Amino acid sequence: MKDENGKVIYVGKAKNLRNRVPNYFVKDYSHSTKTRELVSKIADFDFITVETEFEALVLECNKIKEYRPQYNIMLNDDGGYHYIVIRGEYPKITAEMKIPEEDTVYLGPFTSSYATAKIVEDANIVFKLPNCRRKFPEDFGKTRPCLNFYTKQCCGLCRGHISKEEYLSMVSGAVDYIKNGSNSTIETLKQQMFECSEQLNFEKAAVLRDRIKLIQKSWDENRIIENIHTKTDKDENALTEIKNILGLDKIPAYIESYDISNLGNSNIVAGMTVFENAKPLKSAYKKFKMKTVLTQDDYGSLREVLTRRFKRLNDEKLKEDDSFRRKPDLIFVDGGKGQVSVARKVLAEMNIDIPVFGLVKDGKHRTRAIAGDSREIVVSQAFNLITRIQDETHRFAISYQRKRRNMTNGIN
């Protein structure tokens, strides 16, 4: 990333630039002070595509050393670098922060402690290399193998049954995996597996087959983790936007949403859903059957529901984990400024201070905006989230209404 003078001010890496880069430029996104300052100075950026995560680590480190960017703060001295070390007569592969000794084989330095440790962990698991404190060959046969051997996470070098040549070949394969990535290693292992099969060495072919499966499993897990992080980032962006555009004091981590459902004057009910950290918390959902409102009256029904619900906010007879005992950070009601006015008045009468806003739909019954006192607020980052909240609350309320109607009509 460069400033207006073309000077490099930050170097970073990402598996998916499409997901990573936009997060820097989301309006009012909850960045740290350092990141906000960085973003304010970005005028341009370049990117370089590489084939493997290892290449990305190396390139990132080299570019930081070359440009010494202002905002790569933690990397301005060698104390912030990390190394992949291959050490010993029967080598072990480890992730370390200390600068390795002159006669030690190592890869690096790298900038990310997490990425360095993860690559080493994956390589050791895939090639079943020991990560214990035993030294070899000194400790061959001294004690029983540890749990890793019995759970097939280690080759059991400590037993002394693996030749040095075979073990060094495994280490070499692991280093190749680190340097060249999973696709290259899989192709190499497949070729070796076919050769073993042709030589009728089916036992070794099976070992290589299992190694390929482990690499594929590791790749799938990393992809899932990346997708989870992306989804989490989007949810955080949405909650941050809601906080900022509604002028809330804090991010609304715990949201309650209400919807009234009825068919004419019969079976008038309401549903309350809860979203915690942008995800539905179904164990906290509540259903209401109207007790005082006997005819179609959305405002009256909303007043009854909120009054009943918040009378129980401090009800010590309820269990501590009952959702009625928890005060939400934000309340959404289905509807516009009329419903919002009713809800706010109920809470004011009960001396309860909780922000209340409405969720407005368009002519095709799709979420359109958030309703305040006298205006509608259009959202961008949070649009998918408020749509999920409104749709889920409507689904929950109408499902309960249909169930009550079927019970009334004697339908199972």
pLDDT along the chain (412 residues), means of 10: 87 77 64 75 84 72 76 53 86 85 76 77 88 90 88 90 91 84 76 87 85 72 53 81 90 96 86 94 94 91 96 86 90 94 96 95 83 81 90 94 80 52
Distance of CA 66 to the CA centre of its chain: 33
**Do residues 215 and 182 lie in contact, with contact meaning Cβ atoms separated by under 8 Å?**
yes
Share of the chain residues as helix, strand and coil, in percent rounded to the nearest 5 = 50, 15, 35
Q: What would you report as the CA-atom Rg of the chain, rounded to the nearest whole angstrom? A: 30
Contacts of 22 (CB under 8 A, 6+ apart): none
Predicted TM-score (pTM) of this structure? 0.53
Residues paired with residue 269 on neighbouring β-strands, in sequence order: 261, 289
Map out the domains of the chain as residue ranges. Answer: 77-232, 254-408
In this prediction, residue 125 carries a pLDDT of 85
Q: State how far the Cα of 172 lies from the Cα of 190, in Å rounded to an integer.
A: 16
Burial 335-368 (b: 16+ CB within 10 A, else e): bbbebbbbbbebbeeeeeebbbbbbbbeeeeebb
Residue type, 187: E
CATH superfamily of the 254-408 domain: UvrC, RNAse H endonuclease domain (3.30.420.340)
Helix (H, G, I), strand (E, B) or coil at 287: strand
**Do residues 377 and 370 lie in contact, with contact meaning Cβ atoms separated by under 8 Å?**
yes
In this prediction, residue 126 carries a pLDDT of 86
In this prediction, residue 289 carries a pLDDT of 93
Q: State how far the Cα of 56 lies from the Cα of 70, in Å rounded to an integer.
A: 20
Report which of 324, 322, 329, 284 is spatially closest to residue 306, judged by C-alpha positions. Answer: 324
In this prediction, residue 221 carries a pLDDT of 55
Q: State how far the Cα of 10 lies from the Cα of 2, in Å rounded to an integer.
A: 7
